Amino acid sequence: MYPFISPKHIYYGEESLHRLTDIIETLDVKNALIITDPMLEELKIIEPVIELLRKKEIEWNVISDVVAELPIETADQAVEQARHYQPELVIGIGGGSALDLAKAVSVLLENPGEIHEYLNLNGEKVLKRQGVPKVLIPTTAGTGSEVTDISVFSLKDTKDVITHDYLLADYAIVDPLLTYTLPQKVTAASGIDALVHALEAYTSTQSTPLTDSLALEAIGKITANIRTAVWNGADREAREQMASGSLIAGLSFFNAGVAGVHALAYPLGGQFKIPHGESNAVLLPYVYDSIWLACLDKLVKVADVMGVPTKGKDRRTIAQDTVQALFYLVEDVGLPTKLIAYNIQRDDVESLTENALKQARLLKRSPKQLDEKSIKEIYYNAFQGTFTHNR
């Protein structure tokens, strides 16, 4: 039995960004810190947030050093900078890295030490204080970070996380309008990331009937709209459905957890700095090629919401066809389907496997145990673009 947890307040829908005014009034704050990335600052995507702060006569500072696959050193520097500003409210706006950093900064403002001291794999400190309030505002339809209590950071060869209830947003604002100008590649990578969240949550060993219903809803929304959102970004309905699907997927995977795809993707980001969504995308079909028999019944249901033809087919064939459909979906949205596209060599499989095995927190949720042999096989298949367990 597992509990279901979410932020206390989630605002969703076009123009929901304006609810920030109500939040500021409720919290009665006078000094805010915005955490974002330099591109959003340059394109003035954060300007509506700043304008709302101006109207409420709130002082603000901006930290915009965020980069994809955020290095732990950069994150620690942001914490020190935030401690200098001493904000009463942290506002994270951007993709997963910006939101993850905002969560960590808000908590570390009232806890001693640096981020690396609280990491899951090697940290020794425990968070004792909740930190200052935080508002998380995604500008991509993919990470789900606005509704989770996890912050992910890049180390030398892999990734690690801080996870604690204190990292959960006080307020999450998901305004689809902020996602409508995403470029094609970001739309594709973040969209597949959201799909992986939903699919891994659905097949997780910690799934529940509630997370299952959310996951299936998200899978249906994302797979029905991602191609249109990528190749016809002006289609507002497809964009809105992707934002909705990402939010629902986030609620599902936060409670059921992700598994093998993420465990094997972390070393790709750590060692080769491949963006997280692309790391998940390139591994997605090969991981499910390895585990499909262990989640056969669920993949049959996934086939139904994805629109995979099932008439006259047995369950095994339907599950296998679903794995193939995942491969074609990644291909259709223009993302690489082989590790070789990222200049990864066969000799790199050994170190990738070694680092993937460290992700025990994720691997334990896989419906099929992924041992060293299985993980190597998945990486080799992803390198070559071949399937071992599928027709």
Tens of pLDDT, residues 231-270: 999 999 999 999 999 999 999 999 999 999 999 999 999 8
Given a cut of 60, whether residue 391 has pLDDT beyond it is no
Phi, psi of 140 (to 5 degrees): -120, 155
* Chain centre distance of CA 349: 24
| Confidence (pLDDT) at 390 | 62
**DSSP character string of 9-65:** EEEESTTGGGHHHHHHHHHT-SEEEEE--HHHHHTTTTHHHHHHHHHTT-EEEEE--
In single-letter form, the type of residue at position 276 comes to H
- Residue 154 parent element (H or E): strand 150-154
pLDDT tens-digit map of 339-362: 999 999 999 999 999 999 999 999
**What proportion of the chain, given as a percentage, has pLDDT over 70?**
99
Report, as an integer, the average pLDDT of 198-220.
97
Average pLDDT along the chain: 95
Mean pLDDT, residues 84-109: 96
Query: Average pLDDT, stretch 178-207?
Result: 96
**Local confidence band at 200 (pLDDT 50, 70, 90 cut-offs):** very high
Domains contained in the chain, CATH given:
9-179 (3.40.50.1970), 185-384 (1.20.1090.10)
Query: Within 10 A of 224 (CB to CB), how many other CB atoms are there?
Result: 16
Task: Give the pLDDT of residue 293.
Answer: 96
pLDDT tens readout for residues 109-126: 999 999 999 998 888 999
* Centroid of chain to Cα 99: 10
Instruction: Give CA 201 to chain center in angstroms.
Output: 12
Residues forming a β-bridge with 90: 33, 134
Distance in angstroms (rounded) separating the CA atoms of residues 66 and 101: 8
Compute the C-alpha angle 213/215/210, nearest 5°: 35
d(CA 103, CA 90) in angstroms, rounded, equals 8
